[in-house]
């Protein structure tokens, strides 16, 4: 990617933004202006708001070199979050990178529902499987200072990022991130104890839908964090029965899924004795979360 030839050699912030917005839009990138601003702010190592006060300021050679690299990567459909190294979730910034599932706004609904179940006045313990960047566990710990979180993930990279994010948000003393498969490693940490809630945003993409994902997702995000068998329910079929073994009586379960999976997941919950299964809609008014209780 080369900047266009210009009769004016001064490439100001505004000119770079205008050119980048047009370039990204022609490449099929949605929200091209917003992404151009975020890339430019990252290249200049400044807050996005600073761009508006610096419209007429020339970008340095170093900043322009960074910007060219970032725009080339984005034009290749690498996710913006991987380029900037961060993603906002529930009003907080989380470090992300290759091998980390990028936090989505849909998952904030899962947070809202979980927060309703975590008491303010007494200590509680929640378990998570598939923590990725750590955004769910960390958000719950920040919002509920008396809550302890035990979380497991099969990815060593996720463990590194999640631990760093927990330290950044100063809740690493109340979260235990475990490198292990499913709930087995978490159960070892719990021992003979039980938890108050189980929460998960597991892989749930169907095999036949994987090839239809946007390039940013299918080509760049970790396959293991997305794909879960022919119908997307392979891991969920294991997690739901296992969750009953670690939940106290009256404990709560919340699982994110595809809208088409809400009914079968509700049935799976009922089959193992979980009660009051309920489907909740996300911010786009789409069925996204299934919750249930253990015996109440």
Asked whether the predicted pLDDT for residue 30 surpasses 60, the reply is yes
The more confidently predicted of residues 5 and 179 is: 179
* Residue 33 phi, psi (nearest 5): -65, -45
Pairwise CA distance, residues 117 & 114, whole Å:
5
Domain extent, residue 23, equals 13-76
Q: What is the pLDDT of residue 6?
A: 47
Whether residue 112 sits in one domain with residue 37:
no
Whether residue 271 sits in one domain with residue 157:
yes
Split at pLDDT 50, 70, 90, the class of 8 is low
Q: What is the pLDDT of residue 5?
A: 45
Q: What is the CATH number of the domain that holds 287?
A: 3.40.50.150
* Percent of the chain clearing pLDDT 70 (strictly above): 97
Pairwise CA distance, residues 38 & 30, whole Å:
13
Spatial CA neighbour of 293 closest among 116, 120, 40, 150 = 116
Joined together, the tokens standing for residue 28 give 């099929």
- The answer to whether residue 227 is domain-embedded is yes
Mean pLDDT across 243-247: 94
The model's pTM is: 0.93
Whether residue 136 sits in one domain with residue 41:
no
Whether residue 256 sits in one domain with residue 129:
yes
pLDDT one-digit tens code per residue, 33-44: 999 999 999 999
Q: What is the pLDDT of residue 296?
A: 65
Pairwise CA distance, residues 62 & 205, whole Å:
41
Pairwise CA distance, residues 130 & 100, whole Å:
11
CB contact at 8 A, 254 and 289: yes
Beta-sheet pairing, 287-293 with 147-153: unpaired
pLDDT one-digit tens code per residue, 263-274: 999 999 999 999
Least confident of 57-71, 111-125, 179-193: 179-193
> 259-263: long-range contacts (C-beta < 8 A, 24 or more apart)?
259/286, 259/287, 259/288, 261/204, 261/231, 261/232, 261/233, 261/236, 262/287, 262/290
Mean pLDDT across 99-120: 97
- The answer to whether residue 94 is domain-embedded is no
Q: What is the pLDDT of residue 192?
A: 85
* Percent of the chain clearing pLDDT 90 (strictly above): 91
Mean pLDDT across 155-162: 97
Which of 60, 76, 92 lies at the terminal end of a domain, its last residue? 76
| Beta bridge partner(s), residue 86 | 95
- The answer to whether residue 266 is domain-embedded is yes
If one counts the domains in the chain, the total is 2
Mean pLDDT across 62-74: 97
Task: Report H helices in 30-183.
Answer: 32-44, 48-53, 61-75, 80-84, 107-117, 135-143, 156-168
- The answer to whether residue 193 is domain-embedded is yes
- The answer to whether residue 86 is domain-embedded is no
Pairwise CA distance, residues 141 & 169, whole Å:
9
Whether residue 221 sits in one domain with residue 152:
yes
> What does the DSSP 8-state code read for residue 58?
B
Joined together, the tokens standing for residue 200 give 């998960």
- The answer to whether residue 91 is domain-embedded is no
Cβ neighbours of 121 (radius 10 Å): 6
- The answer to whether residue 17 is domain-embedded is yes
Q: What is the pLDDT of residue 7?
A: 43
Split at pLDDT 50, 70, 90, the class of 163 is very high
Mean pLDDT across 106-117: 98
């Amino acid at each position: 990617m080369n900047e266009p030839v210009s009769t004016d050699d001064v490439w100001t912030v505004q000119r770079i933004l205008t050119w980048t917005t047009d370039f990204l839009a022609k490449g099929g990138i949605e929200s091209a202006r917003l992404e151009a601003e975020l890339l430019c702010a990252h290249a200049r190592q400044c807050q996005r708001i600073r761009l508006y006060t610096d419209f007429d300021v020339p970008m340095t050679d170093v900043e322009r070199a960074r910007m060219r690299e970032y725009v080339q990567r984005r034009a290749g459909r690498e996710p913006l979050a991987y380029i900037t190294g961060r993603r906002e979730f529930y009003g907080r910034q989380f470090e992300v990178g290759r091998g980390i599932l990028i936090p989505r706004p849909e998952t904030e609904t899962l947070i809202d529902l979980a927060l309703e179940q975590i008491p303010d006045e007494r200590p509680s313990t929640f378990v998570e499987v598939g923590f990725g960047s750590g955004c769910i566990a960390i958000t719950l710990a920040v919002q509920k200072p008396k809550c302890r979180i035990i979380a497991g993930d099969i990815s060593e990279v996720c463990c590194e990022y999640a631990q760093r994010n927990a330290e950044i948000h100063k809740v690493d003393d109340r979260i235990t991130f475990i490198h292990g498969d499913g709930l087995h490693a978490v159960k070892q940490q719990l021992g003979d104890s039980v938890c108050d809630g189980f929460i998960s945003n597991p892989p749930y993409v169907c095999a036949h839908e994987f090839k239809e994902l946007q390039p940013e997702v299918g080509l760049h995000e970790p396959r293991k964090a997305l794909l879960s068998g022919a119908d997307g329910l392979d891991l969920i079929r294991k997690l739901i029965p296992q969750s009953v073994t670690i939940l106290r009586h009256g404990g709560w379960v919340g699982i994110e899924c595809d809208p088409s999976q809400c009914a079968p997941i509700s049935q799976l919950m009922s089959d193992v004795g979980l009660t009051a299964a309920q489907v909740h809609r996300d911010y786009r008014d789409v069925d996204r979360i299934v919750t249930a209780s253990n015996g109440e």
